[in-house]
Structure 1
Amino acid sequence: MERRGLDAYGYVEREGSLGRVQGAFAPVVAAARGRIGEAYGQRLHSAYLHGSVPRGTARPGRSDLGLLLALHRECADEDRDTAEVLARGLDQDFAEIDGVGMLLHGKDTLLSERERYGLGWFLACLCTPLLGADLAEHLPRYRPDSLLARETNGDLATVLPRWRAGAQAASTPAEYRELSRDVSRHLVRTGFTLVMPRWGGWTGDLAESAEIFGRYYPERAAQMRAAAAVALDPAEDPAVLYTYLDDLGPWLADEYTARHGTKTPR
């Protein structure tokens, strides 16, 4: 029977756990825990993992490490500087990961009504507790409905111009790799949440997301499968990036708006 990422009551289950972290990534997770606690001290409320590492699907040397830090107060420049140093240090010290994505927010923002279906959803369902008390205990449960679809990825049309500006400013293979990974991930996840209410479940796996999307949009299935592959193995060729920005991205933004509406401005 196909597993759809929901509990017995139809709510989205948290997708990762520390128990799923593969042995190759255990040292970097332990280092992240120690370094975060040391760097932020009493400023830190809690820290979380997200992405393929806590899902147990990460690939040594290819996957990045996703971290979310919740501070007791709203973030200052010094907090962001500390995060940048931490991310760079972990990336340099551990060949098992290819980059570190560090998100940093005050706990009041994460628990705010405005972020209930944004950062709140992200923390409650897509993040695995690493340090401190779990803020998810103060957040609601979520169903895979059109409201969740709209409020998670219903802003693609506003994101596309930023991606185009980034692509125009890029000039090195490393920059194109980073952009292609970020853009393709976002498009695959948006493609999945477009069809999520019809499918009636949740998955964070990009390959599965593309496959599920293709059942409802077979004419775009090959494009989405290719995007999922690039998300796992980023491309240095700018032509790949512009395919997303000029074709798949605009089509997906229009289709998303037509079916679910646009995300509430934040």
Structure 2
Amino acid sequence: MTTIKEIGSFCVTDSDGHIINHSDWNKINSIFHPVINDVVHTYCTLLQDDLHSVYIRGSIPKGIGIEGVADLDTIAVTKQKPNKLQLKRIKEVEDALTQNHTCVDGIELSVYCKEDILNTASFSIISFILQTHSICVLGEDLIPLLPRYKANEALANDHLIHLQGQIKIAYDDLQDNSDVEDIKDCCKWIMKIIVRAGLALTITKENTYTRDLYPAYKLFSECFPEKESDMRKALEYAITPIKDTNELLLFLNEFGSWMVSEADKWLQCHNPNRELKLKW
């Protein structure tokens, strides 16, 4: 049985409702320094002169990353759009990096172009994550150039408008899949999405946000008590992914379908034109 640790918190905001970024290099447990340095070196090697800056986000720069449990989520910003070969090589080294560093459960490498990061006329989840949950560990810091963000419709929309497609991707990936590690990776990925989408259903009412899974589950359960047990199961699957594809497919068919239906109701009210990115 999965042990759920009651950790995490909601984003703190200023007097105007803007989310305050509490990530700080000084909060990072020194156990994670070698893996961060290795990731930075990897980006430098693979992207070379095209690399603009590197960021880490998530629980580790907030100082709440648990050794052996936390993922190291990273973002590299390039001076121009990355090519397919660069992206392919980046993805190929993720597993090797993770195997070399047991202090983290997984490592995520991602690459975005500087031009796209700074194009903030409409809501951008990557710009949002940089501004509210990240720190720069190499290069010129773009965070001061980004807008301030609130927990509002534009943020909720980004979580909900993609949900149906994301669940379909997971469903298709799980069907007839016998690769245990791939199944677990897919399980962890889609369940995090579902938990955060559950929180997104509450944003316009509660005006609060978190990337942390436990408080997201708790707030959703307060607003939808009849679905608490289902969301708790999604949380458990996100923390301890399983390899039983039949169980996962059944869960996606049932609770996943309910979530898609609720997301559709939200979109019908707040984004009837189904715009992928709302004005922030």
TM-score (norm 1): 0.89
Partners of 1:129 and 1:258 in 2: CA distance: 38
1:104 is the counterpart of 2:111: yes
Alignment match, 1:189: 196
1:264 is the counterpart of 2:267: no
Displacement of 1:139 after TM fit? Answer: 2.0
2:157 alignment partner, one of 150, 157, 176? 150
Name the SS for the 2:104 alignment partner: coil
- The residue type equivalent to 2:238 in the other structure is A
**8 Å contact from structure 2 (residues 161, 276) kept in 1:** no
Alignment match, 1:43: 50
Identity of aligned residues (%): 22
Name the SS for the 1:165 alignment partner: helix
Displacement of 1:113 after TM fit? Answer: 4.1
Displacement of 1:138 after TM fit? Answer: 2.4
Q: Provide closer, same or farther for how the CA distance between residues 161 and 233 of structure 1 changes in structure 2, counting only shifts above 3 A.
A: same
Displacement of 1:236 after TM fit? Answer: 1.9
Partners of 1:142 and 1:56 in 2: CA distance: 22
Partners of 1:93 and 1:145 in 2: CA distance: 40
Alignment match, 2:72: 65
1:81 is the counterpart of 2:88: yes
Name the SS for the 2:110 alignment partner: strand
Alignment match, 1:167: 174
- The residue type equivalent to 1:192 in the other structure is L
Name the SS for the 1:69 alignment partner: strand
Bigger helix fraction: 1
Displacement of 1:246 after TM fit? Answer: 0.6
- The residue type equivalent to 1:67 in the other structure is T
Displacement of 1:10 after TM fit? Answer: 0.7
Displacement of 1:99 after TM fit? Answer: 2.4
Displacement of 1:33 after TM fit? Answer: 2.4
Displacement of 1:167 after TM fit? Answer: 0.9
- The residue type equivalent to 1:264 in the other structure is E
- The residue type equivalent to 2:228 in the other structure is A
Partners of 1:147 and 1:135 in 2: CA distance: 21
**8 Å contact from structure 1 (residues 73, 107) kept in 2:** yes
Displacement of 1:15 after TM fit? Answer: 5.0
1:33 is the counterpart of 2:44: no
Alignment match, 2:142: 135
Partners of 1:45 and 1:230 in 2: CA distance: 36
Number of aligned residue pairs: give it: 265
Structure 1: state its 5+ residue gaps.
none
1:92 alignment partner, one of 88, 94, 99? 99
**8 Å contact from structure 1 (residues 63, 232) kept in 2:** no
